[in-house]
Structure 1
């Protein structure tokens, strides 16, 4: 057992669950802020910056091994000013130093460990350190002592080198600037497709080998590419679609999918989507929900509809605040049973074969075990279990189809599905009764809720289910009522027991604006478009680079950040600039705002160099570029909203996969009509239901029937 520390550090006053997890470490932690910076300067001490998040497995490992150790803490407290940052609460800090770590070490991840000069310039950085030297590599205690010795011996040299590093980072950040040659649209889009096609795993789905992530930005790109190339008759279109559909089915069948508790884990450690790191992140649920919605719109395959409902069931049940917003994540680690003293990864989710027989009865357990590949000695490869926490355990994975299982047991497919559903209900009930639930990171982030609003809105469109749309509306209202300062149009980054003091970043504005536009299309309440317009103006004011185009990730007023950077590459989420570009195009078209369209064009050219050299690293930006190149197809309906024909117009548009569409309803005296002269002229006096398709601010002839509209959308 770890000794009780002699004090509670400053993190006890914070709201972040991640910082609170470290509040009782013997390390004298500080949050990111002036108090820590002033102490480092006054005492001429190196800053040790540790960045992670509350549901991060390896963050927990480093805490247990090092930050709970009195021996390690003594070294840290003697030589360093120690700062903890929740990367989800303060992505600006994480982005800058993660870029540094990736460029200097060739890899990144969390926990991130960076040593800084008292002025916050990086000296050295890496990710997880074991506490002791191992396999010829220095452990954390050795690194702490060496950096302290180097600082004491040559502080000026380290400062000079750190300053040079930041200047190199500045140069790196600026290299995406406008180039002299025109961009080749076909070459850029094709190169992304070719990169993905060459790394595609035709046996297991996904791109590349282990570990495997559900790369939603790549899926979205390929679905967009399929749509545009199909219309041009390109043979690659079908392959792009097939890669996504096959991968989505493999993911849903895999162990990365929680077959009992619903939703998806973060990623799989193997190449078969089998053994996950068991944390569940809101942003994965949100983006996968959008992706499965698109797949369903294209195929009308009920498998994708069922997967959408599975994700929604999970987030509504386990991640929703009473007021409508959505929490951030659930942990990978949990106690295996009530009264246990040590958390294990995946303990809430895995099963022993004998346990299933006891719970389900022998007959049902046999069918269930066959279908989900349950083995007597467990089905986890020891190579995927470095700490031995999954020995003898089974991670459920569908190795058989319902038809194959039915054939194996000489029963019908309906009987198989009845058994599987009955078993899953029993296992979920046992989980709740016998197993402590994993820690839930209950902070609410504006950006991730924006993604969730989009996912729910698109699912509501695909399934034509207004109850799903109401979940999106509740989340939007939660943010508006709790995380938005209307007098200054300012978003707040996070909420936990009240709003935080951290103002929103680019991704908070961009992701929420996207969600509001999607929400308006789902149910044409103009409050969402009007709020989106207000947020877009604020985003332009705070983050837009009027000199070079594109958007900075952090506000100029944040003086704690040494270097303002622009996101163009995708990570677990799409880049802020990629989403911002689509928002400018869609809002600019909806409100006939030519300044927005001009900013969209300037944003495209601002990333000329990166789009030309490394487009495969930014599929979301290339998707937005495709929308820019092809133009927005604006579908404008008019007539009473409750008219059956108008409803059918909306149903058809929302059920159809059109990556560059914008659905607008023309109403006299409305906000959109007051901004958009074209929409204003289409608010017909006799209230006869009509629909127009408009591109480049020019509208085609009116259509009166759903059949006419359907032909025009093909």
Structure 2
């Protein structure tokens, strides 16, 4: 059997066993490559006659959400529009196939045109995080609107006010002896932690008090988080954001300047919310109509572009920098004051 780890040139003049046949010593590298190609074709034909191993080809809403978030973030950090395009394409597919806009509900699984299974908390949370990350990467309002729709369902249908926590199954779902929760990080993040983080981030963009649901859930599980923060990493990070307040970077611009993107990609800003908006109030009005808001949320209100230049406002817990047309100056202000 030919060992392909051996450099091809070293095989010149060496007898070979190719597909069960003894082959005369090849005289050149070209002959060796031809023999290898022939052997591969024979091997492929032989394998084609065997039953293929089954493949799991389900499309899951939550897993797509995780990858959408990853591609959107990676595309932003590396300036790779192709990766962002993949995130946009995946989100469009999930919205078209798994999201029922009239009912405002999400299905969990798509396979061969068949849609089924009510989505669980992880599907809403992971997909919501992916849509929100895509909004931050592109500065378009559509993924933000979808993230808000998903967050609204989380708050209305997965939160139990009596128990003060989010559950994996919806309140109107199948009646179970005990409703499950995902509080610890496993091969995927905790769905409760991801949902709480999403609600805290999106609380900036709506007149609905999404943050209250997140804070109550975190308060309910405070003992678990403090006793074992590593085991509850996603919940711990959400609890930290709730206590400290997230860093808000409101950018009023039609496009994010290339050097600003590079600065944000290189700078470690844990938990920062990049709240992009149109540069003018008239442009913002169109966004508010898309989101169904009567007035601008505080993270956007009064924060338009200055002198026609891209402008950034850096804030935490209602303490804000002056409007800056130099991102580095705004970040320096954050380091000195926040």
The two structures have a TM-score, normalised by structure 1, of 0.39
Q: Is the 8 A contact 1:461 1:522 kept in 2?
A: yes
Aligned to 1:683: 304
Q: In 2 relative to 1, CA 432–468 (structure 1 residues): closer, same or farther, beyond 3 Å?
A: farther
- Alpha-carbon distance between aligned partners in 2 of 1:432 and 1:516, rounded to the nearest angstrom: 47
Aligned to 1:605: 219
- Alpha-carbon distance between aligned partners in 2 of 1:538 and 1:506, rounded to the nearest angstrom: 9
SS of the aligned residue for 2:322 comes to: coil
Aligned to 1:355: 3
Q: In 2 relative to 1, CA 665–563 (structure 1 residues): closer, same or farther, beyond 3 Å?
A: same
Aligned to 2:237: 623
Does 1:469 pair with 2:84?
yes
Q: Is the 8 A contact 2:157 2:171 kept in 1?
A: yes
- Alpha-carbon distance between aligned partners in 1 of 2:42 and 2:88, rounded to the nearest angstrom: 29
- Alpha-carbon distance between aligned partners in 1 of 2:310 and 2:303, rounded to the nearest angstrom: 11
Aligned to 1:657: 268
Write out per-residue CA displacement over residues 548-601 of structure 1, whole angstroms, 9 at most, x where no aligned residue: 222110123333533212221122111111101110111112x15471222221
Q: In 2 relative to 1, CA 446–433 (structure 1 residues): closer, same or farther, beyond 3 Å?
A: farther
SS of the aligned residue for 2:102 comes to: coil
Q: Is the 8 A contact 2:155 2:210 kept in 1?
A: no
Equivalences for residues 506-655 of structure 1 within 5 A: 506-559=121-174, 561-589=176-204, 591=205, 593=207, 595-641=209-255, 646-655=257-266
Q: In 2 relative to 1, CA 432–573 (structure 1 residues): closer, same or farther, beyond 3 Å?
A: farther
TM-aligned CA deviation for residue 441 of structure 1: 1.1
TM-aligned CA deviation for residue 710 of structure 1: 4.7
- Alpha-carbon distance between aligned partners in 2 of 1:442 and 1:432, rounded to the nearest angstrom: 28
Q: Is the 8 A contact 1:442 1:496 kept in 2?
A: yes
Q: In 2 relative to 1, CA 687–554 (structure 1 residues): closer, same or farther, beyond 3 Å?
A: same
Task: Using the TM superposition, name which of 696-705 and 502-511 deviates more.
Answer: 696-705
Aligned to 2:71: 456
- Alpha-carbon distance between aligned partners in 1 of 2:181 and 2:261, rounded to the nearest angstrom: 37
- Alpha-carbon distance between aligned partners in 1 of 2:240 and 2:60, rounded to the nearest angstrom: 29
Q: Is the 8 A contact 1:592 1:677 kept in 2?
A: no
Does 1:692 pair with 2:313?
yes
SS of the aligned residue for 2:251 comes to: strand
Q: Is the 8 A contact 2:312 2:323 kept in 1?
A: yes
Q: In 2 relative to 1, CA 682–563 (structure 1 residues): closer, same or farther, beyond 3 Å?
A: same
Gaps (5+ residues) in structure 1? 1-351, 365-425
Aligned to 1:133: none
Task: Using the TM superposition, name which of 512-521 and 493-502 deviates more.
Answer: 493-502
- Alpha-carbon distance between aligned partners in 2 of 1:610 and 1:641, rounded to the nearest angstrom: 43
Write out per-residue CA displacement over residues 146-166 of structure 1, whole angstroms, 9 at most, x where no aligned residue: xxxxxxxxxxxxxxxxxxxxx
Equivalences for residues 190-209 of structure 1 within 5 A: none
Q: In 2 relative to 1, CA 710–605 (structure 1 residues): closer, same or farther, beyond 3 Å?
A: closer
- Number of residue pairs matched by the alignment: 296
SS of the aligned residue for 2:167 comes to: coil
SS of the aligned residue for 1:617 comes to: coil
- Alpha-carbon distance between aligned partners in 1 of 2:159 and 2:190, rounded to the nearest angstrom: 15
SS of the aligned residue for 1:681 comes to: coil
Does 1:490 pair with 2:105?
yes
TM-aligned CA deviation for residue 430 of structure 1: 5.5
- Alpha-carbon distance between aligned partners in 2 of 1:449 and 1:431, rounded to the nearest angstrom: 35
Q: In 2 relative to 1, CA 430–441 (structure 1 residues): closer, same or farther, beyond 3 Å?
A: farther
Q: CA RMSD in A?
A: 2.9
Write out per-residue CA displacement over residues 140-197 of structure 1, whole angstroms, 9 at most, x where no aligned residue: xxxxxxxxxxxxxxxxxxxxxxxxxxxxxxxxxxxxxxxxxxxxxxxxxxxxxxxxxx
Q: Is the 8 A contact 1:483 1:499 kept in 2?
A: no
Q: In 2 relative to 1, CA 625–433 (structure 1 residues): closer, same or farther, beyond 3 Å?
A: farther
- Alpha-carbon distance between aligned partners in 2 of 1:431 and 1:657, rounded to the nearest angstrom: 50
- Alpha-carbon distance between aligned partners in 2 of 1:432 and 1:566, rounded to the nearest angstrom: 52
SS of the aligned residue for 1:356 comes to: coil
TM-aligned CA deviation for residue 490 of structure 1: 0.6
- Alpha-carbon distance between aligned partners in 1 of 2:187 and 2:42, rounded to the nearest angstrom: 30
SS of the aligned residue for 1:493 comes to: strand
Write out per-residue CA displacement over residues 25-80 of structure 1, whole angstroms, 9 at most, x where no aligned residue: xxxxxxxxxxxxxxxxxxxxxxxxxxxxxxxxxxxxxxxxxxxxxxxxxxxxxxxx
Q: Is the 8 A contact 2:97 2:115 kept in 1?
A: no
Q: In 2 relative to 1, CA 685–463 (structure 1 residues): closer, same or farther, beyond 3 Å?
A: closer
- Alpha-carbon distance between aligned partners in 2 of 1:666 and 1:431, rounded to the nearest angstrom: 56
Q: Is the 8 A contact 1:637 1:691 kept in 2?
A: yes
- Alpha-carbon distance between aligned partners in 2 of 1:470 and 1:557, rounded to the nearest angstrom: 36
Q: Is the 8 A contact 1:469 1:519 kept in 2?
A: yes
SS of the aligned residue for 1:534 comes to: helix
Q: In 2 relative to 1, CA 498–560 (structure 1 residues): closer, same or farther, beyond 3 Å?
A: farther
Equivalences for residues 669-680 of structure 1 within 5 A: 669=285, 670-671=287-288, 674-680=295-301
TM-aligned CA deviation for residue 675 of structure 1: 4.1
The two structures have a TM-score, normalised by structure 2, of 0.78
Aligned to 1:171: none
- Alpha-carbon distance between aligned partners in 1 of 2:75 and 2:43, rounded to the nearest angstrom: 33
SS of the aligned residue for 1:679 comes to: coil
